[in-house]
Amino acid sequence: MEISSLSQLFFSCTLSIFYITSFTDVVYSQCLHDQKTLLFEFKAELKFNSSYSRKLVHWNPNEDCCSWKGVECDGAGHVISLELDDEGISGRIENSSTLFSLKYLKKLNLAYNNFSGVQIPKRIHNLTHLTHLNLSYARFGGQFPIEISLMRRVVSLDLSSTFIDYLEIPNLSMLIQNLTRLRELYLDNVEISSQRTEWCEIISSSLPDLRKLSLRNCNISGPLDHSLSKLRSLSVLRLDYNNLSTTVPNFFANFSKGTFPEMIFQVPTLETLDLSDNMLLSGTIPQLHQIGSFRTIVLASTNFAGSLPDSISNLTMLSYMDLSRCKFTGPIPSSLVNLKELRYMDLRSNNLTGSLSSMYFDGDSNLFYVNLWNNSISGEIPQSLFRLPLLQQLILSNNKFSGQITGEIPSWIWDIGKLQFLNLSFNLLLDLEKPYHFPSDLYLLDLHSNLLRGELPLPPAGALYVDYSNNNFEKSIPHDIGSSISFVSFLSLANNNFSGAIPTSFCNATRLEVLDLSNNNLSGGIPRCLVNNIHNLEVLNLGRNNISGNIPDTFPISCSLNTLDLSENNLSGNIPLSLANCKSLEVLNVGNNNINDSFPCMLSSNLHILVLRSNRFHGEVRCHESWPYLQIIDIASNNFSGYLYPRSFLSWGAMMRDNDAQLSLNYLQFVSLSWNNMYYQNKVRVTFKGLEMELVKILMAFKIIDFSCNNFQGEILDAIGDLNFLYVLNLSHNNLIGKIPKSVGNLTQLESLDLSMNQLTGEIPGELAGLTFLSVLNLSYNKLAGMIPKGRQLQTFSAASFDGNIGLCDLPLNRSCNNNKERSGASPKFKNEQWHKKNEIHWEYVSVALGFVVGLGSYLWLLWCCQSLRQKIFYKIDNVLAKVFDPQDRRKRHGRRLVRDQVIRRG
């Protein structure tokens, strides 16, 4: 009984304590009034997008602030955590902000907002209890406030920046020297000012317990210093996108051997190593021992080389391996079969050889991604690869399987459990073994660039991306194909042998973004619904077929077309006016048809490429609209006439540039596919340097004007010289007159100039001699005259470049020039110097002549005015003349001279 009473007493006390504790927790977890006030004042200071916000917009003053989204309190009701990441906050946080009065705050997250490049407020150090600070990608700018170094309790610091804002740390040592408790440091995209290995020494000496370090794209350079080996707790190290120019050192974790440190894998806590995108980083992977912690290794886009060791299988927990775009050689080790946790394997773009053993891939594998693209692997593809139960993406293209994969695509390939991505392009496949049934989960099927033949296999029902281009498929496209491509956004059947009409069922594929049926034998007309129904269509390429009729005038107001290629068909009629609805149109190619229309001035101002060549276009090229992005315009071989108007040329802003502008080496790429960030690369045929060629990759810097073979008249405008980004200018076979403008000398990037077969007169301007990139020049069959200018380029061209100009002379022609022509044919600089020399006044001669005239005039004036002087002078002159011309007197003088000489000799 006593025991029972004691038990009840104990139970009652315990229960009372529990209730009291519970009640106390409830009381003290309520938000304190001053904390709620501070939070509301802070919210009032912020500018944020209420339609985007998921937390701030829901803060209700009638509710407990500790229950607000993004807010966490301690048991006493103090706010200890504020998570306001990705809230659409903009503007700035002042140093006077009430945020810094939340003195109990331990965690602050303002990541992924927009503070417009302002500096991080200095008063942030007032938050002395902070342990976690995340200001990443919040668009802060300038220098880090050194006051951050006073936050001694911080264990996690993320100050990563965006590429837009320039955020820098001028003194890394001062920033982190007091942050000795720091375990995680993220400074991605931050400019770190340090000399070579200095950053290594600073971090390793100040942060000995660091576990995670990410310095992506921080502009750090030099070798990795030995001091980093002190970071014994390091589990994540990211140094990608820097300027490291060294082998990976052998000091990590006291290494002593190898260029790539073998012992780096022995660090007991190391789970992730990412050194990718350091193009100057080199090393090899040595023999490895049994390791249980390593899960991720990324060495992509480095100069790592050598073979992959069999001992890589000792990384038993490895789940993610990206060794792509390196220089690894030799076979793929068969021991990979032991990596049971491996899910992602990317070995593309190496020099791997040998064959794939069937034992590489067994049924217990967890692989869902395998990429062996662009190697030299040969032999047969093992069937075990296709039996992997979780496989989703398989890329084997650009290899040498059996001298590339040959024969049939076996039917068992479709039995792969969860196959989602299959790329067998660039091989020698001939057929698909029947019966074939595509997996329901397959969303990408890429079989392009093989030898596949026969009828077209209908794509899988759920496919998003289907590429059958560059094969030998024939007969007609199945009439019901539209029902099989309901979800497809990219479909290419280009470069096959399809014939017959374009099925109208394509109009049912309303999700199509890219449809490429080019280079086949398709006939009939363009279905009207094709351009009217598919509102998402961005690329329509029907070029190089036998399609006839008119282009449908049914382009809707919602037209999304970016590229329309109808070239090399038998189309007639007009360019439809409704094409003006396609405001995003960047490429229009209707070349080599029978279209009879005037110049389509109504086209989108976003045009980059316009090809109208070899049709029956006519009239003037005179538009009020401008095309500031136009870089290729080819209207050759039509019936255009009239003058070349300056407004047209001066509106093509992309063909101009400032003198200090940088040339863009980026390719013109079109249409990012919404589901996978892929793009469609346009092609265009142009006449370049006298040859017709197909441009597959079009540089943004590549500019062409081809107005040849028309009936343009009048003079070539001086305004042509403003297009100083031009690569090709062809105005040949027209009726142009007048002189070649000197402004052509401003076209400093010009590589090809053709003005042949016109009525041009005058001299070749000497400015042409300064076009150092010019490799093709044709001025033949005009009425040019004078001397061909001297220069580094013009004398390198053959005489054919100047034929048919009777008045031209000098090299490379066999006609010499006389002096007048030589002067007239000289360059402007030479002419100017000659003119100055010819007209220069020689003052020394002028002064002598002037002195003579003045002296003679004074003497004659005295003779005229003084008669006595005149008589004396005339008398003296008479005596002189008498002595000169009297022979007797002359003989007497001669005799006296002989006597004198004899006396002298005798003496």
Would you say 734 and 712 are in contact if contact means Cβ atoms under 8 Å apart? yes
Q: Among candidates 513, 524, 444, which has minimal Cα distance to 479? A: 524
What does the block give as tokens for 140? 């802060």
Say whether pLDDT at 756 is over 70.
yes
Say whether pLDDT at 268 is over 60.
no
Question: Is residue 890 included in any domain, yes or no?
Answer: yes
Say whether pLDDT at 404 is over 60.
no
**Percent of the chain beyond pLDDT 90?**
29
Most confident of 185-199, 390-404, 670-684, 740-754: 740-754
Tokens 């009629």 correspond to: 573
Is the bond preceding 812 in cis, omega lying within 30 degrees of 0?
yes
What does the block give as tokens for 691? 């040859």
Would you say 431 and 453 are in contact if contact means Cβ atoms under 8 Å apart? yes
| 787-826 confidence digits (pLDDT tens) | 988 876 777 888 888 999 989 988 788 888 875 444 444 4
Say whether pLDDT at 887 is over 50.
no
What does the block give as tokens for 328? 């690894």
| 60-89 confidence digits (pLDDT tens) | 888 899 999 999 999 889 999 999 998 889
| Residue with more model confidence, 238 or 323 | 323
What sign does the CA torsion over 792, 798, 803, 809 have? positive
Its pTM stands at: 0.60
* CA–CA separation, 114 and 24 (whole Å): 41
Question: Is residue 875 included in any domain, yes or no?
Answer: yes
| 602-635 confidence digits (pLDDT tens) | 998 889 999 999 999 999 998 877 788 898 999 9
For residue 301, the number of C-alpha atoms closer than 13 Å in the C-beta half-sphere is 11
Question: Is residue 660 included in any domain, yes or no?
Answer: no
Structurally, the chain folds into a number of domains equal to 1
The conformational region for residue 438 under phi > 0 = left, psi -120 to 50 = alpha, else beta, is beta
Would you say 807 and 779 are in contact if contact means Cβ atoms under 8 Å apart? no
Phi, psi of 330 (to 5 degrees): 80, -175
Model confidence band, residue 863 (pLDDT cutoffs 50, 70, 90): low
| Residue with more model confidence, 125 or 477 | 477
Helical pair 887-906 and 867-885, crossing angle rounded to 10 deg: 70
Q: Among candidates 473, 464, 440, which has minimal Cα distance to 514? A: 464
What's the N-to-C CA distance of the chain in angstroms?
A: 185
How far, CA to CA in Å, does 152 sit from each of 133, 135, 173, 670? 12, 17, 14, 51
Classify strands 79-83 and 167-169 as parallel, antiparallel or unpaired: unpaired
Q: What is the mean pLDDT of residues 278-284?
A: 75
Per-residue model confidence (pLDDT) at position 506: 92
Classify strands 539-541 and 514-516 as parallel, antiparallel or unpaired: parallel
Question: Is residue 872 included in any domain, yes or no?
Answer: yes
* CA–CA separation, 502 and 519 (whole Å): 13
Question: Is residue 787 included in any domain, yes or no?
Answer: no
Model confidence band, residue 570 (pLDDT cutoffs 50, 70, 90): very high
Question: Is residue 120 included in any domain, yes or no?
Answer: no
Question: Is residue 218 included in any domain, yes or no?
Answer: no
Per-residue model confidence (pLDDT) at position 230: 76
Say whether pLDDT at 327 is over 70.
yes
Would you say 490 and 467 are in contact if contact means Cβ atoms under 8 Å apart? yes
162 Cβ contact partners less than 8 Å away, ≥ 6 residues apart: 137, 139, 189
Would you say 348 and 373 are in contact if contact means Cβ atoms under 8 Å apart? yes
* CA–CA separation, 553 and 103 (whole Å): 68
Per-residue model confidence (pLDDT) at position 868: 55
Per-residue model confidence (pLDDT) at position 637: 96
Per-residue model confidence (pLDDT) at position 291: 63
Per-residue model confidence (pLDDT) at position 385: 73
Per-residue model confidence (pLDDT) at position 664: 46
**Percent of the chain beyond pLDDT 70?**
75
Most confident of 276-285, 657-666, 865-874: 276-285
Per-residue model confidence (pLDDT) at position 104: 92
Tokens 């391996």 correspond to: 321
577 Cβ contact partners less than 8 Å away, ≥ 6 residues apart: 553, 602
Rg (CA), the chain: 43
- CA 798 centroid distance within chain: 38
How far, CA to CA in Å, does 643 sit from each of 627, 640, 723, 787? 19, 10, 18, 29
Beta strands in 502-606 (DSSP E): 514-516, 521-524, 539-541, 546-550, 563-565, 570-573, 587-589, 594-595
| 672-701 confidence digits (pLDDT tens) | 455 555 667 777 777 665 666 666 656 666
Three-state DSSP state, 521? strand
- The amino acid occupying position 426 is F
Say whether pLDDT at 888 is over 50.
no
Helix H or strand E encompassing 73: strand 71-73
Q: Among candidates 252, 341, 364, 344, which has minimal Cα distance to 293? A: 341
The CA-CA-CA angle for residues 623, 624, 625, to 5°, reads 90
Q: What is the mean pLDDT of residues 851-875?
A: 59
Query: Bridge partners of 369?
Result: 344, 393
| 446-496 confidence digits (pLDDT tens) | 899 888 888 888 888 888 999 999 999 999 999 999 888 989 999 999 999
511: exposed, middle or buried (Cβ count in 10 Å: 0-12, 13-18, 19+): middle
| 715-735 confidence digits (pLDDT tens) | 998 888 888 888 899 999 999
User: Over the chain, what is the mean pLDDT?
Assistant: 79
* CA–CA separation, 469 and 669 (whole Å): 19
- CA 556 centroid distance within chain: 32
Q: What is the mean pLDDT of residues 864-885?
A: 53
How far, CA to CA in Å, does 596 sit from each of 575, 600, 614, 640? 8, 11, 11, 11
**In the 8-state DSSP scheme, what is residue 243?**
B
Three-state DSSP state, 83? strand
| 141-200 confidence digits (pLDDT tens) | 888 788 888 888 999 999 888 755 667 777 788 888 888 889 999 988 888 876 667 788
Q: Which domain holds residue 870?
A: 858-906
Say whether pLDDT at 410 is over 50.
yes
Per-residue model confidence (pLDDT) at position 564: 95
Query: Bridge partners of 48?
Result: 89
Per-residue model confidence (pLDDT) at position 901: 40
Burial code of 581-604, b = ≥16 C-beta within 10 A, e = fewer?
A: bbeebbbbbbbbbebebebbeebb
Question: Is residue 896 included in any domain, yes or no?
Answer: yes
* CA–CA separation, 703 and 693 (whole Å): 15
- The amino acid occupying position 274 is D
Say whether pLDDT at 27 is over 60.
no
Per-residue model confidence (pLDDT) at position 13: 45
Three-state DSSP state, 571? strand
| 498-548 confidence digits (pLDDT tens) | 999 999 999 998 889 999 999 999 999 999 888 887 778 999 999 999 999
